[in-house]
Amino acid sequence: MNTMISGSGSDVLFLHGGGVSGWMWQPVVAQLAGTVRSIVPDLPGHGTSSSVEYTSHDDAVDRLVALIRDRAQGGVTVVGFSLGAQLALRLAADHPSLIRAALIISGETVPAPAQAATLALLRASAPLARREWFARLQAKQLGVPETLLERYIEDSRTMTTDTLVASVRENIGFTLPEGWRHFAGPATVVVGARERGLMRKSADHTHEALPHSSLVVVPDAAHDAPLTRPDRIADEVRGLLAQVEAGRTGPDAS
């Protein structure tokens, strides 16, 4: 996976959502400038890693574990959005020694209904994603700012149908990994108040499975908080880093 590393300070691994790539974290990273060392990979099949197909969460997690061991010093705070949130959950659940704290943003952990029909429709409509007018509509829904719009359109052009279908298949069928219930580090679950019901139900489920986690509902956000409220996401990162430094966990740690 191609990876951008910048800044100095505590290592923070940022995992983007499906259909975008590492550029989506630019607004959040800018808010944190001077305080963290940002590790921002393009996941398989996305952005500058589009030459390697996305095949499964298992494969992506293996690649991320190798990245952390190679590029981080003693573990990372992981920040994941949507598809990236599911990978963050897997890392915290399956490789807790590598994860100091976890920020889970808009991670679907309740399987979606009608998965076969959704995937069939997705495969049939996949060519639309490469059309600029369609990409612009999708970008508007995601809250992509004008300064990053061309990056989103380019990602839409380069993503293959196989990557699109595989990543969505993994996303809509995802269930909360058992190890998450035993993750000992600080953790915060974030969801937008204007997100669909399944996503809000997922946030509740993820939070309830780890009683010492915090649940944050962003009142003016849909499925777009890192792009529309980077200040709020940066604040949550700072809060987790403070808990890590203090060596404490739990919702009343600060």
Residue whose token pair is 């991320």 = 64
Q: Which residues are within 8 A (CB) of 60 and not within 5 positions of it... i.e. 6 or more apart?
A: 43, 44, 54, 87
- Give the predicted TM-score (pTM) of the model: 0.91
Domain coverage including residue 85:
3-110+174-246
Tokens of 187: 């953790």
Residue 60: inside a domain: yes
pLDDT in the model for residue 251: 41
* pLDDT tens digits for range 182-210: 999 999 999 999 999 999 999 999 999 99
Residue 103: inside a domain: yes
Mean pLDDT computed over every residue of the chain: 90
Integer Cα distance of 110 and 162 in angstroms: 23
Q: Which parts of the chain have pLDDT scores under 50?
A: 249-254
Residue 254: inside a domain: no
Give the CA angle between residues 233, 236, 237 to the nearest 5°: 90
Residue 242: inside a domain: yes
Task: State how many domains the chain has.
Answer: 1
* Contact in structure between 145 and 174 (CB atoms under 8 Å): no
Residue 164: inside a domain: no
Residue 168: inside a domain: no
Name the 3-class secondary structure at 253: coil
